[in-house]
Structure 1
Amino acid sequence: MTDCGKQTRDVVDHRTRIGQARRRKTEDKLIKAAILVFAERGLNGTVIDHVVQRAGVSRGTFYNYFDTIEGVREAARVALGREVMLLVKDAVDYDRPAPARVAQGIHAFIAVARQNRMFLEFTARLGRHSYSFAEMLRETAPNFLAAGIEEGAFRPVPEALVYDLLETGTSALLRRLKSGEEVDVAAFVAAMLRVFGVSYDLAAEVAADPIATPHVPEDSLLARGNATWRPSQP
């Protein structure tokens, strides 16, 4: 390739990278705006105009990234879930046996939702469409069940059944928290461990181990959304 050809290609590549960076920046702006508006108006009270006004972009720009309000809501759900995932991962001691790791993860997930009402709103209202603890496990530890079985900590259980029970169980518990009910989180964690074949006594012992509540950074989407969340929203 001639020097001229290489320079042309480099210019094109540079422009492409700049264009991609700008696109990501605009998409991030829309997602952040959506999260704040959802927090203020609720999941059912938000329309596209609310999002574009908060983001300071046109409706046309919105449609370059999302087709519907449900599309940006899904992106917001995933963005919040990513932050929760990192917080939960930091709360888990990966040197502990498999039952303790799972217990710490569930405790941390529930603790984050409990202290961030907006994420609790997303999770409780969207149900199986929310970012669940089961989904987090699929992404961060796809072989956790097989590894636990191999080390003798879990009994052979169909993987799909485990994920279904974790997903529906966690969602149901968060709905109870959202409605203001008192819940026994340790008992719930112990019950989930029993699904893995952990003995009753060990499950109760591990589930009772306290963990430090994950710290949510003030500049995170979780904290910013939680700060504007309105409990009176429909």
Structure 2
Amino acid sequence: MAKHHRKTNPESEPLTRGFKKKARTRQTLVDAAIRIYAEKGVGALLLNELAERAGVSNGTVYNYFKTREEVLQAVGIELANQLSHRVSAASEGIENGAERVAVGVRMFIRQARLDPVWAAAVVRVFQHDRDIRSIVAQNLRGDLQLGLRQGVFRYQDEMIAMGFVASATTGAITGILDGFDQPDYEAVVAQMLLLGLGVTPAKARRIAQMPLPE
């Protein structure tokens, strides 16, 4: 029986390689922007410096980002996705809303301790970019609502509760960047947050000290 060879489009492979190359270049630019934000702050980024840090030409930068605002948006989405993936993976299988919030907060703080550049970028971008706040809020809202339905949380206003958790967490990360840290820092922060959300003292302490998922 004759073998039938599948016809291939000769342009498909070059297009695929081109797409992958563009994705790598864009990621290189985003990573360079994260380092600049961490070192100097959001307002200090210049597109020509971004090109130099990324090892590309100025023209290449403009192929991906026309303005500093577009860079900020891309970095915000990147950091938000990183946060969401880490927390989602760590919270998988946890069905208690308070435990999920505590895991998320502690994961943020632990990552800040391990990667100060990432932490500095998160704190600075969080203040300026709506995308990162929206993605984080979307995940947090579900955990807060779950805890409220379960009777573990007792708060009056959802928006205030979300702002409370986000502000306290970024504040704790800032504390680490400023050199304020201790072995049980993440557990203490989580416990205080849970108390603020209406969890009973004994339960807040127990949840905050639970081992983090590996």
Q: Closer, same or farther in 2 for the Cα pair 1:135/1:24, shift >3 Å?
A: same
Task: Give yes or no for contact 1:157–1:196 (8 Å, CA) kept in 2.
Answer: no
Q: Closer, same or farther in 2 for the Cα pair 1:169/1:135, shift >3 Å?
A: farther
The Cα offsets for residues 108-161 of structure 1, whole Å up to 9 and x where unpaired, read as 111011110101111334453369997554343543322222222222531100
Q: Structure 1: how far apart are the matches of 2:101 and 2:77?
A: 21
Residue pairs, 1:115-130, within 5 angstroms: 115-126=114-125, 128-129=127-128
Q: Closer, same or farther in 2 for the Cα pair 1:31/1:123, shift >3 Å?
A: closer
* Structure showing greater relative contact order (alpha-carbon pairs closer than 8 Å, 6 or more residues apart): 1
Question: Which sections of structure 2, spanning at least 5 residues, go unmatched?
Answer: 1-8
Segment drifting more, 160-169 vs 122-131: 122-131
Task: Give yes or no for contact 2:80–2:132 (8 Å, CA) kept in 1.
Answer: no
Q: Closer, same or farther in 2 for the Cα pair 1:127/1:54, shift >3 Å?
A: closer
Q: Structure 2: how far apart are the matches of 1:156 and 1:194?
A: 10
Q: Which residue of 1 aligns with 2:107?
A: 108
Q: Which residue of 1 aligns with 2:198?
A: 197
Partner AA of 2:181 in structure 1: E
Question: Which sections of structure 1, spanning at least 5 residues, go unmatched?
Answer: 1-9, 215-234
Q: Which residue of 2 aligns with 1:180?
A: 179
Percent identical residues: 25
Q: Which residue of 1 aligns with 2:145?
A: 146
User: Shift of the alpha carbon at 1:50?
Assistant: 2.4
Task: Give yes or no for contact 1:194–1:203 (8 Å, CA) kept in 2.
Answer: yes
User: Shift of the alpha carbon at 1:180?
Assistant: 0.2
User: Shift of the alpha carbon at 1:207?
Assistant: 0.8
Partner AA of 1:175 in structure 2: T
Q: Structure 2: how far apart are the matches of 1:82 and 1:186?
A: 24
Residue pairs, 1:43-58, within 5 angstroms: 43=41, 46-58=45-57
Task: Give yes or no for contact 1:52–1:58 (8 Å, CA) kept in 2.
Answer: yes
Q: Which residue of 2 aligns with 1:221?
A: none
User: Shift of the alpha carbon at 1:164?
Assistant: 1.0
Which SS does the other structure have where 1:182 is aligned? coil
Number of equivalences:
203
TM-score (norm 1): 0.68
The Cα offsets for residues 41-90 of structure 1, whole Å up to 9 and x where unpaired, read as 54366532222234444323322332333532442243133223212222
Q: Does 1:207 align with 2:204?
A: no
Which SS does the other structure have where 2:64 is aligned? coil
Partner AA of 1:114 in structure 2: R
Partner AA of 1:164 in structure 2: G
Task: Give yes or no for contact 2:32–2:54 (8 Å, CA) kept in 1.
Answer: yes
Residue pairs, 1:31-42, within 5 angstroms: 31-36=30-35, 42=40
Q: Which residue of 2 aligns with 1:232?
A: none
Q: Which residue of 2 aligns with 1:69?
A: 68
**Root mean square deviation, CA, Å:** 3.5
Task: Give yes or no for contact 1:114–1:177 (8 Å, CA) kept in 2.
Answer: yes
Q: Structure 2: how far apart are the matches of 1:32 and 1:103?
A: 28
Q: Closer, same or farther in 2 for the Cα pair 1:45/1:144, shift >3 Å?
A: closer
Q: Closer, same or farther in 2 for the Cα pair 1:53/1:156, shift >3 Å?
A: closer
Q: Closer, same or farther in 2 for the Cα pair 1:29/1:58, shift >3 Å?
A: same
